[in-house]
Copies of this chain bind each other. A is one copy, B any other.
Amino acid sequence: MAKNTATASRAQRSTGDATRQPTRRERRTLRQEAAVNAAFTLAEREGVAGLTMRRLGQELNVDAAVLYRLFRDKDELLLAVCERTIETIVTEVGEVPGDESWQDTLRRIAEATWQVQTRFPAITTLTFARTTGGPFEARLVELQLATLARSGLAPDQAVLYYRTFVDTSLGLCAHSAALSSLDPEVQEKDATAWTRIYAHLPADEYPATRAHIDHLGSVSRKLLYDTTMEAVISAIERAAAAA
């Protein structure tokens, strides 16, 4: 009997009957998603150090111990947050037109990754080096490998340049996110370091620094990112042409 009702309500869920109250299991995942949502808003509002289990509980009007019934520990919560981030990237990438060149598809992915990093720097800092093994991660990997394959590279080369592309993008996004996640005062100090410190170095010992001092402060992180990703795409083009 128990099995029947469970099966029934699960079948019901797939029909989308909204009047029926959700199963226990459904409630559980609903609450997990609520926790992930709250983690996003909390981390971006309070910074990297502000995302603690107690404050997350506060955000959900619930004791922190409850979170340990939804996630084994904080790390598992972060993995769920990470998977959600990847989902956001996949959504941001959207549909790839059939006639789009593989170069433009890579550009589209790089742009989506950057946009998401810009929107959630604290989350990016906390999760950029993790692997979720979740469905959205798998979809993104598939899209990237399929795109690289379109360049005509042999499988081993395609994999090499896939990882080059991904890790370069991730590394730069994480770097930018880490800078955005520092204390505002430290951030200000770093930003003005060029004019505060480097402009006053002795010109005889630091001629190159002096010669370039006017331009050092005015390179935007986005321009830098685009320049690097174009360099990687060019490298892939040349490797594909050689094959």
Do A149 and B208 contact each other (CB < 8 Å), given the known contacts A128-B175, A131-B193, A138-B198? yes
Is A129 interfacial (CB-CB < 8 Å)?
Answer: yes
Residues of B close to A227: CB separation below 8 A: 160-161, 164, 235
- Per a CB cutoff under 8 Å, which of B155, B161, B201 touches A214? B155
Q: Which partner residue on chain B sits nearest A178 by CB separation? A: B129
Q: Identify whether the interface residues of A are mostly helix, strand, loop, or mixed.
A: helix
Total copies of the chain: 2
Range, interface on chain A: 35 or more
How far is B138's CA from A209's CA once the two chains are assembled, in angstroms? Answer: 9
Q: Which of A15-23, A84-92, A106-114, A139-147 contacts B (4 or more CB under 8 A)?
A: A139-147
Contacting pair B171 A224 (CB below 8 A): no
Is A70 interfacial (CB-CB < 8 Å)?
Answer: no
Which of chain A's residues 34-73 have a Cβ closer than 8 Å to chain B? Answer: none
Contacting pair A234 B232 (CB below 8 A): no
Residues of B close to A130: CB separation below 8 A: 190
Which of chain A's residues 152-174 have a Cβ closer than 8 Å to chain B? Answer: 155-156, 158-164, 167-168, 170-174
Interface centre among A138, A175, A219, A231 (most CB of B within 10 A): A231
How far is B146's CA from A211's CA once the two chains are assembled, in angstroms? Answer: 9
Is A182 interfacial (CB-CB < 8 Å)?
Answer: yes
Is A215 interfacial (CB-CB < 8 Å)?
Answer: yes
Do A156 and B211 contact each other (CB < 8 Å), given the known contacts A138-B198, A172-B171, A201-B138? no
Q: Which partner residue on chain B sits nearest A201 by CB separation? A: B138
The minimal Cβ–Cβ distance linking A195 to chain B, given in whole angstroms, is 12
Given A129-B175, A168-B228, A234-B235, 4 extra CB contacts under 8 A:
A138-B201, A155-B214, A164-B227, A168-B168
Give chain A's interface residues, CB within 8 Å of chain B: 75, 128-131, 133, 138, 141-142, 145-146, 149, 155-156, 158-164, 167-168, 170-175, 178-179, 182, 186, 189-190, 193, 196-198, 201, 205-209, 211-212, 214-216, 219, 221, 223-224, 227-228, 230-232, 234-235, 238
